[in-house]
Amino acid sequence: MKKQWWMETVGYQIYPRSYKDTNGDGVGDLPGIIEKLDYIARLGVNLIWICPFYKSPMDDNGYDVSDFYNVDELFGTLDDAKELIRQAHTRGIRVILDLVMNQTSDEHPWFVESRKDKVNAKRDWYIWRDGKRDKNGNRLPPNNWASFFEGSCWNYDDLTGQYYMKIFSNKMPDLNWENPELRKAMADMARWWLDLGVDGFRVDAIAHLAKETSFRDSKMKVEPGRFAPDWRKFSNRDRLFDYLAEFHDEVLTHYDCVTVGEVGGGANVEEAQRYAGFDTKGFNMVFNFDHCWKNGAFGDEGRTLGKLTTDVIDLKKTFERWILGSEGKVWMPQYWLNHDHPRVVSQYGDTEEYHRESAQMLGAVLLTLPGTPFIYNGEEIGMTNVDYTSVDDFNDVWVRNYVPSARKRISEERILTHLRRASRDNARTPMQWDDSVNAGFTTGKPHLKVVGNYKRINVRQQESDEHSVLTMYKRLIQLRLHSGMKDVLIYGKFALVQQDHPDIFAYRRFDDNSEILVIANFRDYKVNFAYEVDTYELIISNVVNFGSELLPYEFRILRAKGG
């Protein structure tokens, strides 16, 4: 394995819509990110990933792009984007963008053209098929495949009487990657941004570019009237890897850039190597979701009722499977959450009594695992899930599609409970900068309500508190990137310790010269954990405790003496 600059980075993901608003319209913008670059530099990260800010009707907050070559006016101008890249670089921070390759907006000129008739030059840039009829003559989609955002993955278009494929929302038609002109257009676009100075991409929803092209019904059993969530029909298919190799040859290989593909929950460890193996023509890393829902909250509403408990054994074995399965073969990104998942302190930590301890403990794990860690904005101060009291406070397109059908089945109260635990909006609330109105995010009306705890949890308070979550993140980032333990933390091997311990996540990081032991208590009660105390010295922890019993959410990072 050749060492690369991006292995020695800590990434910071920014959701621009909710980061910092400078013009009072209630939506974060690029000047807002520029304003906060000093804060980001003080945090110590050296890479930022910015979620889409391209021109978009915002059906899915920018993942529905209508012009890849321009900045949406909500976020600013192309000059702002250039200035942001320039100013980040002067602070030693690289910038990666979100590259959306699976779909466009239905308002993108390509799709506007494609819809017009069946013979236009762009018709084949999207996936159009005839529908079917049931025995009563009612119109049905071409097959029974589900969409990720509820309902069928097809949408009917009156204009030509055909359906177009859309695995996300109706306003996000899937591109047809079988078409060589389309592939060239996407490569040109990626090169254009790299030439502008960006350092790479997080590549959105990359697992889905190739579809099963017979488009036959899934055999998965589903209730009548429902669609089959048979994601394999458009995930990780062999053909996809041809597209990626071509993209690699045409684009990536010509730049010193980094790429992180998003493969979601569909790809396993072996498949990750096909995407990003050291000798593969693909990406440099891939995000998977396997460790994100180890408190049982994923899926239907029934699972978000009652108290959620982290399955610590499952959580650590999932990490172990990925880390050991990737060792020497593929570099991993690590993260706790992104804009599609709930806040991690609400998932695996505690939002009240042990807020500080648990948020710090989660940071310590993230920043001592092998791979490149990505922090999601707000995580560094322990931002929590929403406290909304009405279903109407949520705005995500998935929620908008889900609520009408849920209302036919379950009470408003249960929908609310579910959304407060599982909705993507949990991670999309305004950044909590200070304790002034709207948490200092905007002087206008924020596009999503600020979480009520901003007076207690905010950047200003934590920047001046040496025991805060933020201060701990800074210390941990320094430890990882700039201390004498840098090499072992970045490149060292990984081994779980007491892997069947039900409450503690403990592991060693080691190389020929040194050994680090990380011990993290995932419980809100004291837990006993025996280890050879005398052979280690303490580097960082979040509480003052010398006993063999770990306090609630305590973590310890220790170094083997003489190592």
Q: Residues 370-389: x/- map of binding to ligand BGC (CB under 6 A)?
A: --------------------
Which residue number has the CB closest to ligand BGC?
63
The DSSP code for 293 is T
Query: In whole angstroms, what is the distance from residue 317 CA to residue 496 CA?
Result: 9
Least gap, CB of 175 to ligand BGC (angstroms)? 12
63 makes contact with ligand BGC (CB under 6 A): yes
* H-run or E-run covering 255: none
Among 21, 29, 59, 60, binds ligand BGC (CB under 6 A): 60
Least gap, CB of 446 to ligand BGC (angstroms)? 19
- 407 close to 370: Cβ distance less than 8 angstroms: no
Which residues, 92 to 111, sit near ligand BGC by CB under 6 A?
Answer: 100
> Which residue has 């939506």 as its token pair?
27
Helices and strands (DSSP H and E) totals, the chain:
15, 22
Which residues, 205 to 264, sit near ligand BGC by CB under 6 A?
Answer: 205, 262
Least gap, CB of 287 to ligand BGC (angstroms)? 9
Which residues, 302 to 341, sit near ligand BGC by CB under 6 A?
Answer: 339-340
Least gap, CB of 262 to ligand BGC (angstroms)? 5
CA dihedral 527, 532, 536, 540 (to 10 degrees): 0
Residue 84 in tokens: 């942001």
- 514 close to 488: Cβ distance less than 8 angstroms: yes
Q: Select 205 or 477, whichever has its Cβ closest to ligand BGC.
A: 205
Q: Select 145 or 433, whichever has its Cβ closest to ligand BGC.
A: 145
Which residues, 261 to 290, sit near ligand BGC by CB under 6 A?
Answer: 262
Q: Select 205 or 252, whichever has its Cβ closest to ligand BGC.
A: 205
Least gap, CB of 393 to ligand BGC (angstroms)? 19
Q: Bridge-partner residues for 516, per DSSP?
A: 509, 559
Query: In whole angstroms, what is the distance from residue 526 CA to residue 224 CA?
Result: 49
Q: Residues 187-206: x/- map of binding to ligand BGC (CB under 6 A)?
A: -----------------xx-
402 makes contact with ligand BGC (CB under 6 A): no
Q: Select 335 or 529, whichever has its Cβ closest to ligand BGC.
A: 335
Q: Select 230 or 262, whichever has its Cβ closest to ligand BGC.
A: 262
Of the candidates 204, 357, 380, 554, the residue annotated as catalytic is 204
Q: Which residues of 395-414 are buried (b: 16+ CB within 10 A; e: fewer)?
A: ebbbbebbbeebeeeeeeee
59 makes contact with ligand BGC (CB under 6 A): no
Q: Per residue, what are the HEC states of 4-57? A: CHHHHCCEEEECHHHCCCCCCCCCCCHHHHHHCHHHHHHHCCCEEEECCCEECC
Q: Select 171 or 274, whichever has its Cβ closest to ligand BGC.
A: 171
Least gap, CB of 127 to ligand BGC (angstroms)? 16
Of the candidates 60, 72, 80, 262, the residue annotated as catalytic is 262
- 150 close to 130: Cβ distance less than 8 angstroms: no
Least gap, CB of 60 to ligand BGC (angstroms)? 5
Q: Which of 86, 94, 89, 84 is nearest to 22 (CA)?
A: 84
What value, to the nearest 5°, has the Cα angle with vertex 435 and ends 48 and 21?
45
Q: Bridge-partner residues for 334, per DSSP?
A: 373
How would DSSP label each residue in 165-201?
A: E-SS-TT-PBB-TT-HHHHHHHHHHHHHHHHHT--EE
Q: Which of 539, 499, 513 is nearest to 364 (CA)?
A: 539
Q: Select 154 or 168, whichever has its Cβ closest to ligand BGC.
A: 168
How would DSSP label each residue in 317-362?
A: HHHHHHHHHHTTTB--EEES--TTS--HHHHTS-SSTTHHHHHHHH
Least gap, CB of 340 to ligand BGC (angstroms)? 5
Q: Select 168 or 193, whichever has its Cβ closest to ligand BGC.
A: 168
- 434 close to 460: Cβ distance less than 8 angstroms: yes
**Would residue 204 show up in a list of annotated catalytic residues for this protein?**
yes
168 makes contact with ligand BGC (CB under 6 A): yes
Q: Residues 134-163: x/- map of binding to ligand BGC (CB under 6 A)?
A: ------------------------------
Q: Could you tell me how many residues of this chain bind ligand BGC (CB under 6 A)?
A: 9
Which residues, 337 to 356, sit near ligand BGC by CB under 6 A?
Answer: 339-340
Residues that bind ligand BGC (CB under 6 A): 60, 63, 100, 168, 204-205, 262, 339-340
Q: Which residues are catalytic?
A: 204, 262
